[in-house]
Amino acid sequence: MNDRVTMTVDGGVADVRLNRPDKMNALDPAMFDGIIAAIDALAAMPAVRCVVLSGEGRAFCAGLDMASMAAGGSGIDLTTRSHGLANRVQQLAWGWRMLPMPVIAAVHGVAFGGGFQIMSGADMRIAHPDTRFAIRESHWGLVPDMAGVALWRTLARDDVLRELSYTAREFDAREGERLGFVTRLSDDPLAGAMALAATIAARSPQAIRGIKRLYNLAADADAAAVLQAETDEQLKVTRTPDQIEQVRANMERRAAVFGD
């Protein structure tokens, strides 16, 4: 990880922040490196039970730093599937969805283009009502290529996605909530996301990770595969120490204590 992304962990919750506030957290090559390094680090941290992703300063992420790209940062290899199904660019958004633990994006200011796609990789998105969004790529003569198309199909209708992508128009958080991109609004999205993360971190981590795998699978699988996966995931957690501890804690009205 580099100075473009910061991370602290407390109580099983990782607080990850895009840290280029003077440029509204716009994406330059160093930001690419920092985000991917953060995702890689989180994938190897079993004690982290939930992630909150936010941006420092006035915005979540303003998208690509076009000046940086024009100055030589545009030579990124798009053809190599360097991260499983994804290439390096797609990993900036797809990587959050593929992490084993839930990710909550706390969004304010703007989330344009690549920033909107990164936000969409989170499991849930809490946004300030004044936040502005845009699928911005066609404004620059480009197409969305940071895993957005793969992520948005589970959030919004096809015709809505086409209209927003063809026009590159801006829309606010209230419209984003109505369309399905925003989970809920908050005047303090970071505080709201941290509170939600604490609630999730108090649940059995094995169960939460199994639930995330189920919903990730449901985007592509047929009914037979999903039904089988439900059974498989249930068998993995039933009568495990964490599941027994969850039941005991509920019965005894206390906080559960889980193994990592």
Digit-by-digit pLDDT tens for the chain (260 residues) are 789 999 999 999 999 999 999 999 999 999 999 999 999 999 999 999 999 999 999 999 999 998 877 665 556 788 889 899 999 999 999 999 999 999 999 999 999 999 999 999 999 999 999 999 999 999 999 999 999 999 999 999 999 999 999 999 999 999 999 999 999 999 999 999 999 999 999 999 999 999 999 999 998 999 999 999 999 999 999 999 999 999 999 999 999 999 87
So where are the chain's domains?
Answer: 5-200, 204-252
User: Is the CB of residue 116 less than 8 Å from the CB of residue 97?
Assistant: no
pLDDT of res. 71: 61
Q: Which two tokens stand for residue 226?
A: 């999903």
Paired tokens of 3:
């100075």
pTM listed for this prediction: 0.95
* The pair of three-digit structure tokens given for residue 6, joined into one six-digit string: 């910061």
Q: Which of 115, 102, 100, 101 is nearest to 35 (CA)?
A: 115
Question: Which residues make Cβ contacts (< 8 Å) with residue 220, sequence separation at least 6?
Answer: none
pLDDT at 77: 82
- The answer to whether 37 and 1 are in contact (CB under 8 A) is yes
CATH of the structural domain 204-252, one choice from 2.30.42.10, 1.10.3720.10, 3.40.50.9100, 1.10.12.10: 1.10.12.10
Which pLDDT score is estimated for 82? 87
The whole-number pLDDT of residue 113 equals 97
Q: Which residues contact 205 (CB under 8 A, 6 or more apart)?
A: 12, 46, 49, 101, 242, 258, 260
Per the CATH hierarchy, to which homologous superfamily does domain 5-200 belong?
2-enoyl-CoA Hydratase; Chain A, domain 1 (3.90.226.10)
What would the two tokens of residue 118 be? 């990164």
Give the list of residues 6+ apart from residue 115 with CB closer than 8 angstroms, or none.
25, 27, 55, 59, 60, 61, 62, 63
| Confidence (pLDDT) at 115 | 98
